[in-house]
Amino acid sequence: MEVENKHIIIKHAIDGLPTESDFELRSTPLVLSVAQGSKEVRIDAYGVGKVVVSGNEEFERDDVVAGLLAWEEYTVIRPGTTLTKVDPNEFPLSYHASILGPSGLTAYAGFHDICKPKKGEKVFVSTASGSVGSLVGQYAKLSGCYVVGCAGSKAKVDLLKEKLGFDDAFNYKEEPDLKSALRRYFPEGIDIYFDNVGSAMLDAAVANMNLFGRVAVCGAISEYADAGKRAAIDMVDVIYKRITLRGFLAFDHLHLHAGFISSTSDHLRHGRMRAVEDISTGLESVPSAFAGLFRGDNVGKKLVRLPSL
Amino acid sequence: MEVENKHIIIKHAIDGLPTESDFELRSTPLVLSVAQGSKEVRIDAYGVGKVVVSGNEEFERDDVVAGLLAWEEYTVIRPGTTLTKVDPNEFPLSYHASILGPSGLTAYAGFHDICKPKKGEKVFVSTASGSVGSLVGQYAKLSGCYVVGCAGSKAKVDLLKEKLGFDDAFNYKEEPDLKSALRRYFPEGIDIYFDNVGSAMLDAAVANMNLFGRVAVCGAISEYADAGKRAAIDMVDVIYKRITLRGFLAFDHLHLHAGFISSTSDHLRHGRMRAVEDISTGLESVPSAFAGLFRGDNVGKKLVRLPSL
């Protein structure tokens, strides 16, 4: 069987903030079959998909799987690519691409393995209503920490305080002086900063850190599109307060994966955590979904659902 | 007995680089006696000194001690201050204020505990001919690492290569582009950076680091006197290369002190390490000794010897 496989391409190297016009929806014919003895699996979605044809005995047609797919309707999975079967019944499928997927592991591993929280510690999370931040705040509360998040709108701040259990939250766009804002929200100082933005917010957090403070450097959204925008951390502070800053990627922490899935599933079952998702529909919405991440359009994990799934 | 106790004072808050005129030599009468039952000890030098009168049964007259003293001829040591008796015979007394003192522990603890070196790793040390850097390079060689240092003069660079066993060294003042200089000296990248300077050198080192690189943030001499001078580290590099930057102070690592003293003494006895010291004489030379640290005048540990010792 041959299908038209719609996919999204990036037209050219992106300089600065991505916009919708940097992307294009294309379509290419794809034969839905695999060679005899091939280990290829073909599936039909991004993040979470359904097997349509498989040459790998571990997977069969209609299995629901999660893994690193692509921005297209059908993806050919090469041998050696990690693909996990998921139970399509217990949680919404989207959870396997958000709270139980890489964003979840990033939050879990980053908070537990990099930040090494102790009960009662003061935790600051930036982009706190984003895919990772919204989960870090919840893990921090479950660990007995005091948690303040920042986000870019009143609606997001309200979500943090009213739905996600943050002790406090503020709109950074309304704070002309980030250092004094953090001094106000953390009169006793910050023990842990989970950094998703870099630049000025990172400087302000370091300036407000306590002795032996830890910074998990998870993202630098304010720096991605502007190579000239940089943090200007006070290294004298870093020395005298013995601060550790550590960059990390979730896939270095796969030894935590089983514990992450079992404990997070359990928190979800008992209503102790909630997934925050922002779902658009149709492959053609991928460009605006992606570009919107840089504008702060999303609340929680940004996902694109294909109508076929 | 009453003596005139000469001491150095700082006349006013120092803005920018310290100069000799910020200091003054004064003299105050001091009674060399202690109250009955007092735990006070009076001694006559800075760093390493000799007990002249003691009310503490652990110390007696003429004991040679090392500890945190002051810029004066006689210092009153209050109970609770750590003071260590040293053997005046095995090594020059100055060693107890340099290679066997806080500079040595800083190098030892910073390199072993913060950098966690593995044999064959590539190590970069800034202010490599300074009190700490000159020792870090030697510990790194003893750990089987490849070591390159930078310093601010040809004489210092020659010292590193010819006397201290560095694999290579360069004069940073002759390198208009630190990033490409480090690329030349580390074609396979840097695993460990022992940072004593901060700002542009730190940025350049991070840009040349390998995956899972470690930065021991020990000093920021280029930033101390200029609050506007800051590192502008690329945090995206920190994330993708999973770099750890960690500030530290030696006195958090006192659990290593016994091992530090025994192994370093042993290295000295067998000629595997050497102390680099830059000694001025007379209390009145303290201001120029101190201000000179910021001009890079010193080679190795800057010490001031009092003629009375």
CB contact under 8 A, B240 and A247: yes
Are A232 and A138 in the same domain? yes
Q: What is the dihedral of CA B102, B105, B106, B111, to 10 degrees?
A: 170
CB contact under 8 A, B238 and A217: yes
What range defines the domain where residue B155 resides? Answer: 102-251
Report the pLDDT value the prediction gives residue A221, as an integer from 0 to 100: 85
Any residues with CB less than 8 A from the CB of B291 and at least 6 apart, and which?
B17, B18, B19, B20, B22
Q: How many CA atoms lie within 13 A of A138 on its CB side?
A: 27
pLDDT at B44 over 50: no
Are A117 and A241 in the same domain? yes
Q: Does B225 touch chain A (CB under 8 A)?
A: no
**Residue pLDDT, tens place only, A193-220:** 999 999 999 999 999 999 999 999 999 8
Q: How many domains does chain B have?
A: 2
pLDDT at A40 over 60: no
What ranges make up the beta strands (E) of A198-309?
209-217, 244-247, 277-281, 301-305
Are B58 and B27 in the same domain? yes
Residue A270 lies in a domain: no
Are A127 and A193 in the same domain? yes
What ranges make up the beta strands (E) of A74-144?
75-77, 83-85, 122-125
Are B113 and B140 in the same domain? yes
Are A283 and A165 in the same domain? no
Are B110 and B196 in the same domain? yes
Are B85 and B179 in the same domain? no
Are A159 and A228 in the same domain? yes
Report how far apart, in Å, the C-alpha atoms of A6 and of each of A24, A43, A75 are.
10, 13, 10
Distance separating alpha carbons of residues B33 and B26, to the nearest angstrom: 21
Closest CA to A222 of A152, A279, A161, A277: A152
Share of chain A above pLDDT 70, in %: 96
Are B125 and B245 in the same domain? yes
Residue B218 lies in a domain: yes
SS3 B63: coil
Best probe of the B interface among A222, A226, A235, by most B CBs < 10 A, is A235
Distance separating alpha carbons of residues A175 and A150, to the nearest angstrom: 10
| Residue B211, domain CATH | 3.40.50.720
Q: Does A211 touch chain B (CB under 8 A)?
A: no
**Burial (CB count within 10 angstroms: exposed 0-12, middle 13-18, buried 19+), residue A137:** buried
The C-alpha of A209 sits at a distance from chain B's nearest C-alpha, in angstroms, of: 13
ipTM of this complex: 0.88
pLDDT at A293 over 80: yes
pLDDT at A4 over 60: yes
Distance of CA B272 to the CA centre of its chain: 19
Residue B175 lies in a domain: yes
Length of chain A in terms of residues written: 309
Q: Does A198 touch chain B (CB under 8 A)?
A: yes
Interface of B with A in 246-305 (CB under 8 A): 246-249, 252
Q: Does B234 touch chain A (CB under 8 A)?
A: yes
Q: Does A207 touch chain B (CB under 8 A)?
A: no
**B41 close to B52: Cβ distance less than 8 angstroms:** no
**B281 close to A287: Cβ distance less than 8 angstroms:** no
Q: Does A234 touch chain B (CB under 8 A)?
A: yes
Report the pLDDT value the prediction gives residue B309, as an integer from 0 to 100: 67
More confident residue, B37 or A136: A136
Are B146 and B238 in the same domain? yes
**B169 close to B149: Cβ distance less than 8 angstroms:** yes
SS3 A138: helix
Q: Does B226 touch chain A (CB under 8 A)?
A: no
Report how far apart, in Å, the C-alpha atoms of B26 and of each of B8, B10, B11, B20, B21 are.
6, 10, 11, 14, 14
Report how far apart, in Å, the C-alpha atoms of A228 and of each of B135, B234, B248, B278 are.
36, 9, 29, 41
**Residue pLDDT, tens place only, A76-121:** 888 877 889 999 999 999 999 999 999 999 999 999 999 999 999 9
Question: If you count residue pairs, one on A and one on B, with CB atoms under 8 Å apart, how many are there?
Answer: 96
CB contact under 8 A, B235 and A220: yes
Confidence of residue B33 (pLDDT cuts 50, 70, 90): confident
| Residue B64, domain CATH | 3.90.180.10
Report DSSP state, residue B44: S
Residue B136 lies in a domain: yes
**Residue pLDDT, tens place only, A6-22:** 888 788 887 778 888 88
Confidence of residue B42 (pLDDT cuts 50, 70, 90): very low
Are B229 and B106 in the same domain? yes
